[in-house]
Amino acid sequence: MWDGLNSRQRSYLLACFREDQDAERRARAARSAYQVPGSAFEWRKLPFSIKAELPFAEYTTIQRRLREEGSLDAGAGATLHALARRGLLKITEDRIDLPEVGLVARVLVELTRAGRACARVGLGIAPAPRRPKHLLSEWLWDNLARVATAGSDGLSEDVMGGKAKYYLGTDYRPNGKQSRGYIDCFAVRTEKGRGTFVLEYRWRITEAGRRHINAYRAAYQTAYPNVQVNVPDSL
């Protein structure tokens, strides 16, 4: 597919790809800081242009990239649609509120898997190896390791990463599928007056979680060397 693109189409695809990868890095950094970046369905939709006159609307990051290359002009829309027809990206619109202007339309682009693969070919980037299904994502492994490190005291729910508890816990995920059962929640209670009240909820490792860590610890350390793991060698 890369060979079938002209130089202008390649420039537009690569500009979108670089912004897509920046968005992915921002999402990963947010998770590392135990923030919720939202779903990939949201942050992979990249602003391409805002339908308002300058100076009320600035150039988007993708437009600035193309402008530096001398490729941004009135034919931008036609080039995007040419890439969309090839299944390399999707084009949608939403509306945003601009000061002194009000609601205006914004054009969004979202690279497809084929689009990202095509851009990697153009840049000479080898495809990332697929993660084996029995291994967790880097984000979930980081959360599981932190719960295990906390031991019997457990890890406070306040510092659990986003929806990690749904994917690692003993209940059900938001999509209705059963979770993995690697961690479990317990209540820390306190006496107050004549009653007992829940002070906070914490998470600790389950037997299934211990077995998973003991079985795949070495694989995780190879796959995710940036994750700090302070789990005892044998749980």
> For 4-14, what is each residue's pLDDT tens digit?
999 999 999 99
Position 195 confidence tier, pLDDT thresholds 50, 70, 90: confident
Domain assignments of the chain as residue spans, ordered by start? 7-123, 138-223
pLDDT > 70: percent of the chain: 92
Sign, CA dihedral 29-35-40-42, equals negative
pLDDT of 128 > 80? The answer is no
Percent of the chain with pLDDT over 90: 49
Neighbours of 85 (CB within 10 A): 9
Residues contacting residue 35 through CB under 8 Å, at least 6 positions apart: 162
Mean pLDDT of 173-177: 65
Token readout for 23 is 């968005």
pTM, full prediction: 0.65
- In this prediction, residue 2 carries a pLDDT of 95
Q: Give 115: exposed, middle or buried? Use CB within 10 Å, 0-12, 13-18, 19+.
A: buried
CATH annotation of 7-123: 1.10.10
pLDDT at 34: 65
Highest average pLDDT, of 20-29, 116-125, 131-140, 166-175, comes from: 116-125
